Structure 1
Amino acid sequence: MGASDSQIKDQLINKPEFQKYLKQICFNVPQNIINKNHYDNILGNLKQFNVIRIGSTPLGDRLFNVLNAKNNGKITSEILYQFLTQLNVNKESRCEYTFQAYSFEGQSIQSTVSEKNFIEIVVDSWERAFTGLVELLPENQKQDGDLIENWSKSENQKLLIRKAAQMSFKNFSKSQNNKVDYLTFKNWIYSEKEDKIVAKYDGKVVVVPLTLYKFTK
């Protein structure tokens, strides 16, 4: 009997080569200080190991802010390395960091996720997915790209996505105050019902994750 898809993914991500490569790219920055460009580039380079796209996404942007806030505004190579190692080996850490990304407000991590933040991340992820899709289209499909971009960013479409996100939040939160705690939010993550935004056109696909639970594709 052959290995399952999940077993193959686990074998791939847990290879010593992954940790070796991760350490190499995390520490290959000036003075071992990670800025946003370093962060996005490092995360982007992990796609060869089937790691989901985190860099340059709303979820990834918020995670960068979380790491900044937890480390006094200074993300070092060691901090990023440990963060990505945790995501690699620990599913609970994936849930915790997803929660922190959604609950981040102002300059700090809150104890609950608000409906407002949830909707904002979903809508921003929708826009980012279709922006990324348009960027993949060749020059001879520029007109198609313009139509896709205008459609995805139209007020009517954003209103539909906003309403869908609001309904999703109300369904899993059962909350009277438009906020959810960690355990309730984790149950939503575990459900894996709405864990990503997928934009497709003419064979091109862009996936923007809404959670970290499936760290590998």
Structure 2
Amino acid sequence: MEILLGIAAAVIVLFSLGMAGRASAAEKPPVAMTQLATQPPVQVAPDALRERLEKLAESAPPRKLSPGAMCYDMAMPPDRFDYVCPACQTKTVHARTQTQAPIQWELAACRRTLKTIKGLNIELTETGFCAKCDPDAKAPVLGIRIRYAGNKIHTMAPIASVDLQLIAEFMAGKDKHDGGQAGEKPLRDYAKRLAELLGTGPIKK
């Protein structure tokens, strides 16, 4: 009887250790990628988006387009860029360089624009920003990760904030792209780029 009780106790201990190991593995931060989830999962098929893109490409251009605004001076970024990783909460300090100033602005712009995208399960991937998650990274890179119906995943990098703006405008059903100082342009002119970003496959036009 004592032998059976000992065996049962050993089995319980091994099972507990195994479950703890699984929990620890699930809680590890992603390697070489950090993510910012925008919203609960949305069941969208890439084929449906491709059909919408083809209709957009064949649509008539908007009758009125804004010419844009006057130029203005851009403020200088700070001498350092403090990045807090969304995955592991580690702070990485980046010294400002000629190449890092634009990526600092792009990161902020991408995070803002990501929140405006509706009807799509999309995440922003921030590779190379965190010294703990990406210790061997040579340079920061921004990308996107889209989850479609049937658990189909599409990833793309590098991307810029204007790419996320195009996606937001398309998902909102707009027919114009707001180019800021460059003025408005027909969104249909960006149909092929949107197909690349969304991973829908090539469109007819």
Fold-level similarity (TM above 0.5): no
TM-score when normalising by structure 2: 0.25
Bigger-Rg structure (1/2): 2
Larger helix percent: 1
TM norm structure 1: 0.24
Query: Relative contact order: is structure 1 or structure 2 higher (C-alpha 8 Å, sep ≥ 6)?
Result: 2
